[in-house]
Structure 1
Amino acid sequence: MATLVNLPTDLLRTFITVVELGGHSKAGVALGRSQPAISLQIGRLEELVKAQLLTQEGRTIQPTPAGEALLSYAREMVRTNDEAVSYFHRTDRSGVLRIGLPTDYAVAFLQNTLTSFLRENPAVDLEIHCDLSRELHKMLRAEELDVIIATMNSPRMPYLSRAWVEQPIWAGADDFVPDPTRPLPLGAHLEGCDYRSRMIDALDASGRRWRVVYTGPGISGLQNAVQNGLCVTALTKATLLPGMRELTEEEGFPKLEQLRIGLFYKHPRLTPAGLHLVSELVASLESVGSGVVKVMHT
């Protein structure tokens, strides 16, 4: 029988910190260790996995392909370790936790998770910021947010914990009947919205005329415009309300490109409360039926 190799969480934590903070010196400051000690830990981890994990491009430290593969496992292993320690040591969960969500997620299934988290952790103050995904990514990088859920423009992105795929659908009022002789009336979020670009790309590719008749940043206003028959739009099934129906390809609505969504956070910067919330979000994602999301362990 092959000998199993145990990967110590302290080595994995050092590896995550070097990657997320961009260097051995910054990781040493965050972890309270010297730069040579950080280098020794990375070397020991490379010996255990028998692969080079980091490469230097100029002054920038980047994970190698093997490092990218290990990073996904390392983040989950360290998060689970810290969550277990927090549970048994009853680590204080308090303070402010800043969450970034796309507008539709603020009112969809994750809202229940956040509400439950607040009931269980009354000493935590949640600040929820809704915006376009590109802005949420910027705010996470700038450490203006602690945890975000946002669309992904590539399969591998920094600070990614979980990824999943959603299939947007066309939505209109229950009594909406498309008129092929007139441009399709669209409702959309502001420029830069992934749903907006998918609608336009699909309609242009199919040669269907369209015009935007409603634009707004909030999901509720868009849902109201659709319910009242002002426009059609692209939504997820989780945000399809009574009075609305899914519009089909048979009615002339081309299939929309799927969305890749991710849960992101900077592990070295996250508090015990933040780690607990991430665990709750992961559990929420994995309990959702495959009709809404397909979860991928990155």
Structure 2
Amino acid sequence: MPLLTNLPTDLLRTFIAVVELGGHSKAGALLGRSQPAISLQIRRLEDLVRTPLLAHEGRTILPTPAGEALLSYAREMVRINDEAVRYFHRSEVAGVLRIGLPTDYAVAFLQNTLTTFLHHHPGVDLEIHCDLSRELHQLLRTDKLDVIVATMEQTRMPYLSRAWLEQPVWAASETLAIDPARPAPLGAHLEGCDYRARMIDALDAAGRRWRIVYTGPGISGLQNAVLNGLCVTALTHATYLPGMRLLTEDEGFPRLEPLRIGLFYKHPRLSPAGLQLVSDLVAGIEGVGSGIRTVPT
């Protein structure tokens, strides 16, 4: 039986740092190594996988297609390594973590993973920022957030750790009678929301008239508007409440396109508290809602 190649985590950690920090010098400053030492580690990793991992576009360093593929594995391997080390070292998890969530996932995660995390790690202070996904991505890029959950415009995006599909559903009050001759009364988040775009695209494609009758940034206001019979909307399974009913294609509400959701963070900049939270979020993804299906990154 041929010997399997082992990919050392120190080489993978260096590779992640070079990609996420944008260069050998910045990675070396973070990891406490010289630029030549960083370059040597990258070459060793390329020798092990037998393919170039980085390419230069002007002054910018980008992963090759093979590098993009390895990056997903590398993040997970280093995360699991660090999780194992924390388990045996039993170090105190403390500090401030800045988390970015869309409003619907804020509900799901706040009710489950985040509250459990705080209970087990009282030395950690969480700062939670709810916003549109495009804003969350920008805040992560500029180091104003540490970890985000956000929708994905592309299957490959920087700082991606985990990806899954969420199937939105049409929701209305159990008592709301839908008149097919009148425009569908829609409730939605603000312009730029992916769920809002999914609803409008689906109705336009089906030739169904619609009008926006409720707009607001918060999920609770939207849920109440639906329960009170003011509007219909698209929700995740985690935010679908008792007193609501699912709308079907027979009622003129076509199936909505699924959303690709991702968990994003910059591993080199994440504290032990952040790495622990990421592990907890990864473990809790399947429990957020029955509409979730994990997909390869």
Cross-structure match for 1:4: 4
* CA distance in structure 1 between the aligned counterparts of 2:96 and 2:207, rounded to whole angstroms: 49
Cross-structure match for 2:184: 184
Asked if residue 22 in structure 1 is aligned to residue 25 in structure 2, the reply is no
Asked if residue 106 in structure 1 is aligned to residue 106 in structure 2, the reply is yes
Asked if residue 295 in structure 1 is aligned to residue 294 in structure 2, the reply is yes
Contact in 2 for aligned 1:171/1:245 (Cα 8 Å): yes
Q: Which runs of structure 2 are paired with 1:52-131 in the superposition (5 Å)?
A: 52-109=52-109, 111-131=111-131
Alpha-carbon distance, 1:81 to partner: 0.7
* CA distance in structure 1 between the aligned counterparts of 2:39 and 2:201, rounded to whole angstroms: 48
Contact in 2 for aligned 1:110/1:281 (Cα 8 Å): no
Q: Which runs of structure 2 are paired with 1:231-250 in the superposition (5 Å)?
A: 231-250=231-250
Question: Which shows bigger deviation, 82-91 or 163-172?
Answer: 82-91
* CA distance in structure 2 between the aligned counterparts of 1:5 and 1:110, rounded to whole angstroms: 41
* Amino acid across the alignment from 1:237: H
Cross-structure match for 1:197: 197
Contact in 2 for aligned 1:24/1:39 (Cα 8 Å): yes
Taking only the aligned residue pairs, the percentage that are identical comes to: 77
* CA distance in structure 2 between the aligned counterparts of 1:288 and 1:169, rounded to whole angstroms: 15
Equivalent residue of 2:112, what SS? helix
Cross-structure match for 1:171: 171
Contact in 2 for aligned 1:53/1:63 (Cα 8 Å): yes
Alpha-carbon distance, 1:177 to partner: 1.8
Equivalent residue of 1:122, what SS? coil
Structure 2 unmatched runs, 5+? none
Cross-structure match for 1:261: 261
TM-score scaled by length of structure 2: 0.98
Give the number of aligned pairs: 297
Equivalent residue of 1:108, what SS? helix
* CA distance in structure 2 between the aligned counterparts of 1:186 and 1:233, rounded to whole angstroms: 6
Alpha-carbon distance, 1:296 to partner: 2.0
Contact in 1 for aligned 2:169/2:246 (Cα 8 Å): yes
Cross-structure match for 1:160: 160
* CA distance in structure 1 between the aligned counterparts of 2:83 and 2:92, rounded to whole angstroms: 12
Cross-structure match for 2:33: 33
* Amino acid across the alignment from 2:68: E
* CA distance in structure 2 between the aligned counterparts of 1:286 and 1:292, rounded to whole angstroms: 9
Alpha-carbon distance, 1:176 to partner: 1.6
* Amino acid across the alignment from 1:246: L
* CA distance in structure 1 between the aligned counterparts of 2:157 and 2:63, rounded to whole angstroms: 12
CA distance change for structure 1 residues 121 and 233 in 2, over 3 Å: closer, same or farther?
same
Contact in 2 for aligned 1:15/1:42 (Cα 8 Å): yes
CA distance change for structure 1 residues 110 and 68 in 2, over 3 Å: closer, same or farther?
farther
* CA distance in structure 1 between the aligned counterparts of 2:273 and 2:231, rounded to whole angstroms: 42
TM-score scaled by length of structure 1: 0.98
Asked if residue 148 in structure 1 is aligned to residue 148 in structure 2, the reply is yes
Structure 1 unmatched runs, 5+? none
Alpha-carbon distance, 1:286 to partner: 3.7
RMSD: 1.1
Equivalent residue of 2:264, what SS? strand
